[in-house]
Amino acid sequence: MATHSEHVGQALRQGSVLAPAWVLYATIVVGAVGLLPTLRGLFHTWSTMYDYHHGFVVAAVAVAWLIHVRRRIDASPVRAVPWALPALAVAVLAWMVTYRGNSELLQQMLLPVVLQLAVLSALGWSIARVTLAPLAYLYFGIPIWENFQPLLQGLTTWVAEHTLLLLGVPTTVDGHQVTIPAGTFSIVEGCSGKRYLMIALAFATIAGVMHELRARAMTILFVATTVLALVTNWARVVTVIYAGHATNMQHYLVAVEHKTFGYVLFIPLLVVIVLIARRLRSPDSASADSGRASERVMQASPTTWTATAALLVVPLLLPANEGDTPAGSVTLGSLPVLTGTWQGPLPANAQWQPLFVNALAERRAAYTSSAGRVEVHYNVYGAQAPGHELVYFGNSVAPADHWTVVGHSPALAGGPSVTIARDAQGERWVIAQLLSVGGAVTAQPAMAQILYGMRALLRPVPSGSLAFAAPCKPDCATAQQAVLDFWTGNGAQFANLIPQRL
């Protein structure tokens, strides 16, 4: 009789709208509504960025995964964690700061964090452990992978150079340009292997889950997938370059297209990943979808869930980012007249023209000394909004249409970031840049967005870019020293030209 009652109670519980799975789904829906601008940004990214077209599949897999583990969720004990509410509040506040700072990437990075903390506070640790992997899976569709691109691009260039030399092909490398006797190849962003890596890892995750791999086996699968994805991409790049060498640039892969060749290599890679996952599967693997929760902790706490839902919808109270302020509301300081070690202002060199979309005002000039000539550029933005923001993919001190970034130097404490770039004529430049937000100066774009977001929670502040540049004459070391000397002596004066208040 007791056993029969337990089965009836469990059946009623799973069929009730108060079942843990339904509470979980309601929590995620409320979170999605509260963070709707982030979802819109993700959909736009997936629609417009080729490397992230798979984002729709990632979202569908995450949703299907949460539905698939419904029995595990309903069989897990529910024990609300009220002390997780402060952590959720901090995460929501961080999201609001990144929203006001117009940082779509930081918003998107916070999305799984906010949802996971909401699950923890409303339903407890047992269910949070079940939802951790499906929610974390969303990161395969979030463009955090762009941060790995410079490393992967450099690694691909290095491997291509040394492999070609081993094959007897005379090779010289300048930045990411590989020159062989038959011609020059540019190892562009699409050749870095970033897309290979993130899609292969996303596929490996599903393969590991389907084969019920444990933590150690899953780690081995991820390591093997990473190595195989990188090696496959390197083989693709080296093969294309060698084909150009062997056929004097007449091979189909060089003269027509090589994307199809990439797909030909990638499909076998996916097959190998499945075989590795199958090989790693333990014979005694068993699904954890069964089990019965304690009757004492079946119900979610209405009070904690209400508090969780309230925190999730707080972002709806935040006004939408509005358009930029009228041009007359921000005044950019005039170029200073220097008559000491450095003299100027002089007319700017037309070769270097930084691009900052929709800046309210900008000024350019040059200053000279016995150490050389330094170009100066600074600008200002008012209240930031999408398309009217200091940190924006279209903004650059070395515009991608005509310039090629060769390398970066780490920023010194309190100093500018340094970029080495090559202009359209092939001449190298040293460019140092700082960002000013309401009088606070930083060399890090992400920090500038955070600073602006924190200030803009109360009211917007002006922000702008300050950049110094010099051609590498006679060499880049001399040019960099001249730029840094100019910054040391005059940087604070120029930074003050960007207003601190609207």
Residue with tokens 């207003």: 499
Nearest Cα to 194, choosing from 219, 230, 220, 141? 230
Q: Is the pLDDT of residue 327 over 50?
A: no
Question: What is the model's pLDDT at position 18?
Answer: 67
Sequence-separated (6 or more) residues with CB below 8 Å from residue 139: 109, 112
Q: How far apart are the first and last CA of the chain?
A: 75
If pLDDT is split at 50, 70 and 90, which confidence band does 268 have? very high
> Region 2-11: what's the mean pLDDT?
42
Let me know: does 92 contact 312? Beta carbons within 8 Å: yes
The answer to whether residue 135 is domain-embedded is yes
* pLDDT at residue 3, rounded to an integer: 46
Residues 51, 167 within the same domain = no
For 489-501, give one letter per residue: b (16+ CB within 10 A) or e: ebbeebbebbbee
| Same domain for 369 and 264 | no
Q: For residues 492 and 494, what is the distance between their CA atoms, to the nearest angstrom?
A: 5
Do both 136 and 227 map to the same domain? no
* Beta strands at 361-369 and 343-346: parallel, antiparallel or unpaired: antiparallel
Listed as own residue / partner, the contacts of 4-7 with beta carbons closer than 8 Å and 24 or more positions apart are 6/292
Euclidean distance between CA atoms 338 and 489, whole angstroms: 11
Q: Which of 154, 145, 116, 133 is nearest to 54 (CA)?
A: 145
The DSSP code for 405 is E
Could you report the per-residue pLDDT of 404-432, keeping only the tens digit for each? 888 877 666 678 999 999 888 889 999 99
Is residue 285 in some structural domain? no
Residues 403 and 397: their CA atoms lie apart, in Å, by: 9
Which pLDDT value is given to residue 285? 53
Contact predicate 274/209, CB 8 Å = no
Q: How large is the angle between the packed helices 104-123 and 125-136, nearest 10 degrees?
A: 160
For residue 445, being part of any structural domain is answered with yes
Note whether residue 120 is domain-resident: yes
Whether residue 351 sits in one domain with residue 243: no
Q: Are residues 342 and 435 in the same domain?
A: yes
Q: How confident is the model at residue 322 (pLDDT cuts 50, 70, 90)?
A: low
Domain match, 41 and 115 both:
yes
What is the percentage of the chain residues whose pLDDT exceeds 70? Answer: 90
**In 3-state terms, what secondary structure has residue 364?**
strand
Domain count, the chain: 3
500 is a domain residue: no
pLDDT digits (tens, 9 = 90+) for 386-399: 788 899 888 999 88
Cβ contact 300:123 at 8 Å: yes
Predicted pLDDT of residue 270: 93
Are 216 and 154 in contact by the 8 Å Cβ rule? The answer is no
Q: Print the SS3 string covering 191-235.
A: HCCHHHHHHHHHHHHHHHHHCCCCHHHHHHHHHHHHHHHHHHHHH
Indicate whether 310 and 385 sit together in one domain.
Answer: no
Element (H, E) at 376: strand 372-380
Q: Is 502 within the bounds of a domain?
A: no
- The pLDDT value recorded for residue 231 is 95
- Residue 302's pLDDT is what? 84
Give pLDDT, residue 386.
79
Report yes or no on 322 lying in a domain. no
Whether pTM > 0.85 for this model: the answer is: no
What is the extent of the structural domain holding 409?
327-495
pLDDT higher than threshold 60 for residue 5: no
Q: Is residue 383 part of a domain?
A: yes
Same domain, 345 and 481: yes
Using left for φ > 0, alpha for ψ between -120 and 50, and beta otherwise, residue 152 falls in: alpha
Mean pLDDT over all residues of the chain? Answer: 87
Q: Are residues 103 and 240 in the same domain?
A: no
Give the pLDDT confidence score for residue 317 in this predicted structure.
82
Higher pLDDT, 253 or 61: 61
Kindly state whether residues 305 and 179 are assigned to the same domain. Answer: no
| pLDDT of res. 415 | 82
What's the rounded Cα separation, in Å, for the pair 333 and 500? Answer: 11
Q: What is the pLDDT of residues 465-491, one digit of tens each?
A: 999 999 998 889 999 999 999 999 998
Q: Is the pLDDT of residue 459 over 90?
A: no
Same domain? 437 vs 363: yes
Do 101 and 224 belong to one domain? no
